[in-house]
Amino acid sequence: MLFQKISIPIQPFTLKLALPIGISFYIFQVISYLVDVYRGDIHAEKHLGIYAVYISFFPKVMQGPIERGKKLLPQLHSRHTFQYGQASYGLKQMAWGYFKKLVLADSLSVYVNQVYNDLPSYKGLSLILATFFFAIQLYCDFSGYTDIALGSAKILGINLTQNFKAPYFASSIKDFWGRWHISLSSWLRDYIYIPLGGNRVGKVRHSLNILITFLVSGLWHGASWNYVLWGGLHGVFQIIEGFFPWNSKKSPFQRNKHYHFLLCLITVPCTFLLVCFAWIFFRAVTIQDAFYVISNMFDGITQFPAYIQDCALQMGLTFSHLSYNCLPLVLLFLYDLASLKTDVITFISRQRFFIRWPVYLFLLLVILLFSEKGVSTEFIYMQF
């Protein structure tokens, strides 16, 4: 409208190209820089070129991580020389990112889009399975991009912020947000939650601060009630779980590692289910679609054999399809489980030649054989 008023002809496609890619990531990074300079946490960068690279460093420009000036600016000022160890690590991290994106995210997107793009045609277990598939798809898509970004930056001698740490092994919603999109959750904590008062206020105000922070997180993803509800759900979940006695630091479940392990056997699956429930609003196009999924996901469950059979027929799933996708999912599960205790890439790199190279070749073979052919899927977070 503005261009039309001043008689400048412009097509929507041209305008789309003119909009900066990853603009929301630009904005969050610039805000953190300005606030940190204002607070005196960092000095204002006087070199225009270095500042421009800090804002638009190519590996992270589209989907983050959202870097802080305190970490990235000193690295840009430093002189870097090629280091074989860093380059080798970066290439391996990129390979793992490509595995998650090409093998898992793109393959699962076929089933997710099939169901969520035509919801009235599906009921029962199909809706549940598509939601679980979306949870894994989104994680592999976003964290896969992050691994590629971190790996390519590491080849250049730059260390970016780790953005994911096995989030689906989280034992609470609070723990989940300490593992999922870490650069965003820490940004929201430092620039919204803490300035609002954090947990240094009364219980009611503390709960309100949590809710506001998560609502902002939802709005960051888009001006849609779906995202607002998604963020609000996470806020409500975290407020409610704060009243559970086992979350107290004085609880024996937190102080005794054996009790804590037993508790995690319950809380980890429950947290995953709550996160998946919230993903329904994130993936559905409208709120009505989201409530359709929720209201029809258990349709026919009383006839359990038919419940499963209908799902297989509706989604075109066969035993061979499930078996085909099983190996990549097992690899993802084992990698994330091991990453809770160690750096998997470093651990493999330290093994003997005849151990580590078969692992590398096996991963390459899996990427070549299991990657979805003929499916054009951009990264999901490209839209935010």
Q: Which residues are catalytic?
A: 221
The amino acid at residue 168 is Y
Nearest one of 177, 211, 194, 160 to 25, comparing CA atoms: 160
Residue with token string 């430092």: 190
SS3 of 197-242: the string is: CCCCCCHHHHHHHHHHHHHHHHHHHCCCHHHHHHHHHHHHHHHHHC
The amino acid at residue 214 is F
Q: Are 57 and 158 in contact, with CB atoms under 8 Å apart?
A: yes
Q: Which residues contact 251 (CB under 8 A, 6 or more apart)?
A: 245
**b/e map of 322-345 (b: 16 or more CB within 10 Å)?**
eeebeebbebbeeebeebeeeebb
Q: Are 124 and 300 in contact, with CB atoms under 8 Å apart?
A: yes
* The two structure tokens encoding residue 281: 């609003």
Residue with token string 């590692």: 257
Residue with token string 């970016």: 160
- CA dist., res. 217 & res. 206, Å (int): 17
- CA dist., res. 99 & res. 102, Å (int): 5
Nearest one of 93, 86, 71, 119 to 296, comparing CA atoms: 119
Q: Any idea what DSSP says for residue 256? A: -
Burial category of 194 from C-beta neighbours within 10 Å (exposed 0-12, middle 13-18, buried 19 and up): middle
